[in-house]
Structure 1
Amino acid sequence: MSTRGPWTDIRLRAAWAEQDWAAILREYRRAAGISQRDLEGLIGVAQPNIAAIEKGRRKITSAEVIARITEGLQVPTELTGMPATSDPDQWAPPLELRERIAHGHATGRTDLRTADWIGQVLAQHRRAEDEVGGMQLWRVVRSQLDAVTRLIPATSGPVADRLMLLAAEHAHWLSWVAHTHGATGPALAWLDLAHGWAVDGGHADMASWVHRVRSYYSLGHGDPQRALRTAEAGRAGRLSPAAGSVAAHQEAMAAARLGERDRARRLSDVALRLAEQVPEEEERPGWLYWLDPTRARLQAADAALACRDWATAAAGFREALPALAGYPRDRAHYQSRLEDAERHLSR
């Protein structure tokens, strides 16, 4: 039985971040599809004791037992070095991350298996955030970013560039979670890191995406002029169709907020055409996994709503919403947008 696979599971990693031993054992067994008796052979704890731990009747305090569990379950290295505190004051990026990246092009070699693993897990985090919530995964992703940046000083050339992209993806995710929890300053600081790492690594799509996110923040804070300037910067350079699509959509939303509706409609059409060029997930950058044809149509409806084209917006939302059944938070968001359009139509 492979023990590596279960650690892609989001709930298991979140349980480890909380050091909730009952949850760790339960979630590990669920992810691995094994019984308490099977687990006994892995960690050297008798099955009746495992049952008592999982039910909360027995606590784990022994360092020796913790070590056996850590070794027996083959906890990934990026989790074993996780800081003990979960203090939310640690929103801001630490200085040592910048120091590691600054030495990213030293001559050297590194084993990329860890980076590939962490990239796979981050992709799982993106998909699970709607269900689990970003705060539960914050310490996990921070620890993963530490693991990635520790690899960078021993790399050079394309390998270093690849790791910088992975670091930028983590920093962007951390920015988003900080933003959703009202930590605006740290959210922008994480974006600064993500953008710098994307540029240093030569990743135009990620650099554009960071501009798009910053523009979104500005629009949400009531500064459409700044949002428009930032969105325009995000469309500069040679971008993939998917990256170009989200950049054009964001510029459309900012232009609509400033009353430039013709420009917004043109940009929305551009965004939809570009998204339609890459309907399959493997054709898009990893962080744009969600930009399928359904999401592209929803974004077009959102732009129509911003342009006060109520009928077009309502029709677009009605057509696309049924396909969001598996995404409760997004479905609720777009359902509210549909209701907004319908209220205006009924006046």
Structure 2
Amino acid sequence: MGESPENLWSHPQLVAAVTSEDWGAVFRTYRKLTGLSQMKLGERVGLVQPDVSDIERGRRRVTSVEVRQRIVAGINVPLDLQATAAQLAMDTAPVAGLALPGAAPDEDLLTRVTGVVNESHRVDAATLDWLDRLLAEHRRAEDRIGSRPLVDVMRQQLHTVVNLYAGARGRLTGRVVRLASEHAQFLAWMAQDQAQTASALAWYDRSHEWALEAGDANMAATTLSMKAHMAWSGGRGTRCVRLAEAARWSAPGTSLGVQGMAAQMAARGHALEGEADDARRLLDEAQALITRASERPEAEPVWMYFYDETWFTLQRGMAALHLRDWREAVDHLTVGLGALPDEYRRDKTWYRACLAHAFAGAGESTQAVSVAVASIPDASSLGRPHSWNELHTAAAVLMRRGAKEGRQLVTALREYD
């Protein structure tokens, strides 16, 4: 007889296999404890029996984010255990290579950057300036290529930053902690982007803790706003509002842009709950803040580079989408997408999927399918579950309305599933 669910995830051998992400050992141990055949386990995790066998025997490695997510969901890995696995992956990651094509530091600086980790040399300002610059470049790269290719690189880079702490002195100690907080926030965002909720929450909590230690009010507030965004993504409007309001009152002295981000997140939470008056009031407040922030861009933290009128127009479109004001949603999303630079490939894919949903809701089925079908290749190649799910939502709305284009969109999506 197999283990009961309450005992299964306390078994040390299974816990060790999951936290080390040894999926072959996970499968073997899970089947031993539950009595499942390879075929039955495959049905749970969306794999055929030969694939389960190959993974167990080490002939196939699990490298796909989608396959990993299916395994975790199929065997019901507890959230706290998923978070532990994410933390251990960071703790054991190797030191990153720090060369950046086309923007490498001079030879002396590169020696110092790589040497402080292995030889415990003192950290200097030039080293931290370079790491600040490298993080900024990675943020920009993620806009173009999505989060999947960068996750391992950023884990390694954070490991490097954490190791710098022992060699930091005086004011540089605070800079190292701040830099670690920014890296953890970026890792959290990428986990969130890939729908890895437990990992994202663990990274946001770590980032918030480090931000408080470094005295960085802007990052402390930003992590709360991003947790509000996670709640919004999960359809939890009330939690979204509460976290966004916490971002506003718990970190005084934040920049106007950071305040505006928190206000618009609260607005989106209210919109999700159908509370139109509160949503529109907070959107107006956020717009006033972003207008004032645009007058002094140098006062904003570097990670707020994307927060401008174009981005805010798109957020208004999202709020209108939740309030089922389809025409307003179409108008705002169309204007915002028209102004969004092509380099924001990830965001363009997401907002196009939302525009398809808005067109479907407005009963404009031809436009909905046209926008959706054009978005499918990028949604598939970038590996964004949120964009993919939104395209399926648009198809579902069309099907409910009895539009013949709904089946056309479903067929197009199945070609990439």
What's the TM-score, normalizing by structure 2?
0.56
| Aligned partner of residue 147 in structure 1, secondary structure | helix
Structure 2 distance, partners of 1:73, 1:242, is 33
Q: 1:166 aligns with which of 153, 163, 179?
A: 179
1:234 aligns with 2:247: yes
Q: 2:343 aligns with which of 317, 326, 336?
A: 326
Structure 2 distance, partners of 1:109, 1:79, is 10
Write the letter of the residue equivalent to 1:336: A
How far the C-alpha of 1:224 sits from its partner, in A, is: 2.4
CA separation of 1:32 and 1:331: change in aligned 2, threshold 3 A: closer
Q: 1:246 aligns with which of 261, 280, 298?
A: 261
How far the C-alpha of 1:144 sits from its partner, in A, is: 2.2
Report the counterpart of residue 37 of structure 1 in structure 2. none
Q: 1:346 aligns with which of 351, 359, 363?
A: 363
| Aligned partner of residue 291 in structure 1, secondary structure | coil
Write the letter of the residue equivalent to 1:252: A
Q: Is the 8 A contact 1:79 1:144 kept in 2?
A: no
CA separation of 1:180 and 1:317: change in aligned 2, threshold 3 A: closer
RMSD (Å), alpha carbons: 3.4
In the TM superposition, what whole-angstrom CA distance separates every residue of 1:33-55 from its partner, at most 9, and x where no partner exists?
A: 9xxxxxxxxxxxxxxxxxxxxxx
Q: Is the 8 A contact 2:117 2:163 kept in 1?
A: no
Report the counterpart of residue 3 of structure 1 in structure 2. none
Report the counterpart of residue 275 of structure 2 in structure 1. 260
Structure 2 distance, partners of 1:32, 1:119, is 13
CA separation of 1:313 and 1:135: change in aligned 2, threshold 3 A: closer
Q: Is the 8 A contact 1:272 1:300 kept in 2?
A: no
Q: 1:308 aligns with which of 302, 307, 324?
A: 324
Q: 1:149 aligns with which of 162, 182, 185?
A: 162
Q: 1:127 aligns with which of 116, 121, 140?
A: 140
Structure 2 distance, partners of 1:76, 1:328, is 35
Q: Which runs of 5+ in 2 are unaligned?
A: 1-92, 365-417
| Aligned partner of residue 131 in structure 1, secondary structure | helix
How far the C-alpha of 1:80 sits from its partner, in A, is: 11
Write the letter of the residue equivalent to 1:250: M
Structure 2 distance, partners of 1:199, 1:321, is 36
Q: Is the 8 A contact 1:265 1:304 kept in 2?
A: no
How far the C-alpha of 1:78 sits from its partner, in A, is: 4.9
Structure 2 distance, partners of 1:255, 1:78, is 48
What's the TM-score, normalizing by structure 1?
0.66
CA separation of 1:161 and 1:130: change in aligned 2, threshold 3 A: same
Structure 2 distance, partners of 1:342, 1:335, is 10
Structure 1 distance, partners of 2:170, 2:115, is 28
How far the C-alpha of 1:217 sits from its partner, in A, is: 1.4
Q: Is the 8 A contact 1:78 1:143 kept in 2?
A: no
Structure 2 distance, partners of 1:216, 1:319, is 23
Structure 1 distance, partners of 2:291, 2:302, is 17
Report the counterpart of residue 181 of structure 1 in structure 2. 194
Write the letter of the residue equivalent to 1:172: Q
Number of equivalences: 262
1:101-116 to structure 2, matched below 5 A, reads: 110-116=123-129
Structure 1 distance, partners of 2:283, 2:173, is 36
Report the counterpart of residue 48 of structure 1 in structure 2. none
| Aligned partner of residue 293 in structure 2, secondary structure | coil
Structure 2 distance, partners of 1:168, 1:227, is 22
CA separation of 1:136 and 1:334: change in aligned 2, threshold 3 A: closer
How far the C-alpha of 1:172 sits from its partner, in A, is: 0.8
Report the counterpart of residue 307 of structure 2 in structure 1. 291
How far the C-alpha of 1:220 sits from its partner, in A, is: 2.0
CA separation of 1:198 and 1:328: change in aligned 2, threshold 3 A: same
Report the counterpart of residue 214 of structure 2 in structure 1. 201
How far the C-alpha of 1:225 sits from its partner, in A, is: 2.3
Structure 1 distance, partners of 2:297, 2:138, is 16
How far the C-alpha of 1:129 sits from its partner, in A, is: 0.8
Structure 2 distance, partners of 1:32, 1:253, is 39
